[in-house]
Structure 1
Amino acid sequence: MKIISWNVRGLGKSRTVGRLKQRLRDENHVIIFLIETKLSSEKMARVRSRLGFQNRIDVAAIGRSGGLSIGWKHSCLVNLQSFSARHIDVIIEDDSEGRKWRLTGFYGAPEEQYRADSWNLLRSLNQNNTLPWLVVGDFNEILLASEKQGGLVRSARQMDAFRNVLDDCALDDLGYSGPWFTWEKGRTHANNIRERLDRGVANSEWWDLFPDFQLKHLSHTFSDHCPLLINTRGAQSSIKKTWHFRFEASWVLEESCEEEVKRLWLNSGGEFLDRLRYTSSGLDAWFKKLRSEKRLTRKDLTEKLERLNNLIPTDDVLGDILDTKIALNFEMDREELYWEQRARSNWL
């Protein structure tokens, strides 16, 4: 099972929702936990439906702040236990063997003076728990001074309080792969701040249930937080899908499209239908190659972004990060047009 946790910093813009939809599609997720949606329950229901999730639990934003949402596919059974402005707690049954475990999406108070209330909430959720338990989200706190770079030095008292609550609840940090930080602000070296505020923690029973799990910090082009991907079964091979020919609206954005159609038609022979079949077959092959190149381009840009995020944030590096995000967004614009047409075709 794949789980995405992300502080999206608002879903009020259509383009932001489109970017989120692409990011989720890439990972073939089953459960999503979204933080700071900044939407009412009604608006969040429309967004979640656009993302492809019919099942959900939404906690409305208060004014223009907060808002939580858990969405899931019909392949797993999710039972709500409790919720608040800071958490959504559910029990999951995700396979035919009837194994049950607990998932808590958590959002720690951004204000330091209310952080103790967040830790007390976590302690209350831990009472009488007998299930494997995973807590994931934005805790708005770090465990170690090494998890912060730039800005003011974090108070040892604050970090101690975070470590104490994890000890009280018998929760251990899951670790990660990818860039070490999950939150960033500042576009120059002088004001750049990076911290690991988002994480997954679990009790020993959950570790025993999913010994091959993976947690990864994913790259992103919007929000100042990165998404967390938790795969309970570790790496899995992808399933290839059958390709069917169709003319895609995104092709007209390619400079080579018109010349390719002309070339294929002029090189074809025989009756009209034979020439049509030859041209469509050629376009099919051209598009497969084009898609492969685009995937490679997007993959290269994503990998470049990950490499840049691991470098010392000098002004030149931060400038390269911004340029790479712009280029990656441009590639996503092309792909979004492709998927919009496909969704419309499926609806028809």
Structure 2
Amino acid sequence: MESVKKTGWNLMEEVRRLPLFDECPTPCHWVVMNIIAWNCRGALKPEFRNHVRELVQNHNPAMLIVMETRVSGDRAKEITDRLPFDEAIHTKTIGFAGGLWLLWNTDRVAVSLLATTEQEIHVSVKVRPSDTQCFLSAVYASPKFNERCILWKNLVNVASLHSSPWIIAGDFNKVLADNDKFGGRTVNANRSLLFKDCLDSCNMVDLGFSGPRFTWSNCRGIRRLIQERLDRFFVNPDWCTLYPNARVSHLTHVHSDHCPVLLDFEPSADSSLNKPFKFQSF
């Protein structure tokens, strides 16, 4: 495979291997199924493993997406082997930057890897014991504009190659609208529009959220404070049909300047949620 930085990415062969999905799968609603996405800002810190265990104890995720790990290869495997998950997929870092992991427990989901790049992990997911299936794309968008544009192009290519229930989750390193940011420079409307166009081409919707509005903060005093909503879950209408009550929650900041974000497939009845987000027109 040629370098994704230079040529982008074609998933045709990988997506052709995607298992066939039931036309009208019936989810098993009593199954506890949720996913957490968290930019940990480095997985080598001693407290990282403790915070992952706390997240598992408090929220019982079947899958965990970890971004900006800054670790890959054998060292990454050594760390994930000590975490409370059975299996893991790791991407390569870019020098000492980046790093994307997907972890899961095999008694709750069956995961088939389709392909990876430095910014993406694409898998098919079967939820046990219902055998409900979906397509999951975990992403860590590059802070660099040109590389991020490659990611947008890749996701659009993926959308053209399948018609399955689909989740895209991770740190997108870009806000969609002015109210996704507090402080600092004004939002670059043209770059946000490229992000929005990608999501529209993928037929993605934002489920809204509960908890604090922003998922990242520079943690500085009020005069220099910058906060943004960078970490998100997007789903397509087919996925919404399977899980119409799904909820997204911004959890408490730990260890990192990004908060973990939880997607709960079947939340309790008393869960509160902000209204679904409508993309801003430019």
* Aligned-pair CA distance for 1:54: 2.2
Residue in structure 2 matching 1:129, options 162, 175, 178: 162
* Aligned-pair CA distance for 1:23: 2.2
Question: Could you tell me how far apart the structure 2 residues matched to 1:31 and 1:84 are?
Answer: 19
TM-score (norm 1): 0.66
| 1:57 matched residue in structure 2 | 89
Question: Could you tell me how far apart the structure 2 residues matched to 1:43 and 1:74 are?
Answer: 22
SS of 1:118 mapped into structure 2: helix
Identify, as 1 or 2, the structure richer in helix: 1
Q: For 1:89-109, what per-residue CA distance to the aligned partner results, in whole angstroms no more than 9, with x for missing partners?
A: 111111333221111101112
Mapped contact 2:215–2:258 kept (Cα < 8 A): yes
Paired amino acid for 2:194: A
| 1:343 matched residue in structure 2 | none
| 2:127 matched residue in structure 1 | 94
Question: Could you tell me how far apart the structure 2 residues matched to 1:97 and 1:40 are?
Answer: 33
* Aligned-pair CA distance for 1:38: 0.8
* Aligned-pair CA distance for 1:236: 8.2
| 1:2 matched residue in structure 2 | 34
SS of 1:136 mapped into structure 2: strand
* Aligned-pair CA distance for 1:20: 2.5
Question: Could you tell me how far apart the structure 2 residues matched to 1:50 and 1:166 are?
Answer: 35
Question: Could you tell me how far apart the structure 2 residues matched to 1:71 and 1:19 are?
Answer: 15
Mapped contact 2:35–2:262 kept (Cα < 8 A): yes
Residue in structure 2 matching 1:235, options 228, 243, 268: 268
1:17 aligns with 2:49: yes
| 1:320 matched residue in structure 2 | none
Question: Could you tell me how far apart the structure 2 residues matched to 1:68 and 1:122 are?
Answer: 16
| 2:198 matched residue in structure 1 | 165
Q: Where in structure 1 are there 5+ consecutive unaligned residues? A: 238-348
| 1:32 matched residue in structure 2 | 64
Identify, as 1 or 2, the structure richer in strand: 2
Question: Could you tell me how far apart the structure 2 residues matched to 1:162 and 1:25 are?
Answer: 34
1:208 aligns with 2:221: no
TM-score (norm 2): 0.81
| Larger gyration radius, structure 1 or structure 2 | 1
State percent identity of aligned pairs: 32
Q: Which has the higher contact order (CA 8 A, sep 6+)?
A: 2
Residue in structure 2 matching 1:193, options 215, 226, 229: 226
Mapped contact 1:4–1:230 kept (Cα < 8 A): yes
| 1:151 matched residue in structure 2 | 184
Give RMSD over aligned pairs.
Answer: 1.5
Moved >4 Å (runs of 4+): none
Aligned residues: 237
Question: Could you tell me how far apart the structure 2 residues matched to 1:232 and 1:225 are?
Answer: 22
Question: Could you tell me how far apart the structure 2 residues matched to 1:95 and 1:186 are?
Answer: 40
